[in-house]
Amino acid sequence: MKTILLVEDEFGIAGVLTLLLEDEGYRVMSAANGRQALNRLAEARPDLVVTDFMMPLLDGAALGEAMRANPAWKDIPIVMMSAVPEAAVRDRFDGYTAFLRKPFPIPAFFDLITGVLKA
């Protein structure tokens, strides 16, 4: 069973995505911001990190930079989600594996997750 760390500060979005991912057979660890995500990463190594870009305390760009700087996490794929254009995200951090513009259709979300995990 693949494990996904979902990092999302909006409770409703996190809840829906967690339920959908679990229904598809994934194990989901969750965090409300980048700082919590770093704690989760220290507890268990996921197969994939799906993170929002704009979050309090530690945003998706800072989380990505911390992951890429750590030898234990540098090769974990990152899916970056944001309502802002990808160019703005890329200006802050370009080490993500895939980008998903919010709002997104659920089938596109699963296609992306499946594709990244198979790569």
- Closest to 50 in 3D by CA, of 25, 11, 82: 82
Q: Cα 119–70–21 angle (5° rounding)?
A: 45
Please tell me the predicted confidence (pLDDT) of residue 37.
98
**What was the pLDDT predicted at 87?**
96
Over residues 99-118, the mean pLDDT reads 96
Q: Helix axis angle, 106-118 relative to 11-23, nearest 10°? A: 60
Give pLDDT tens digits for 60-107: 999 999 999 999 999 999 999 999 999 999 999 999 999 999 999 999
Distance CA 30, CA 33 (A): 9
Residue 119: its pLDDT value, please? 78
**φ and ψ of 47, to 5 deg:** -80, -20
Give the pLDDT of residue 36: 97
Domains of the chain: residue spans and CATH: 3-118 (3.40.50.2300)
The DSSP H or E segment spanning 43 is helix 34-43
Per-residue pLDDT tens digits for 23-38: 999 999 999 999 999 9
Average pLDDT over residues 11-33: 97
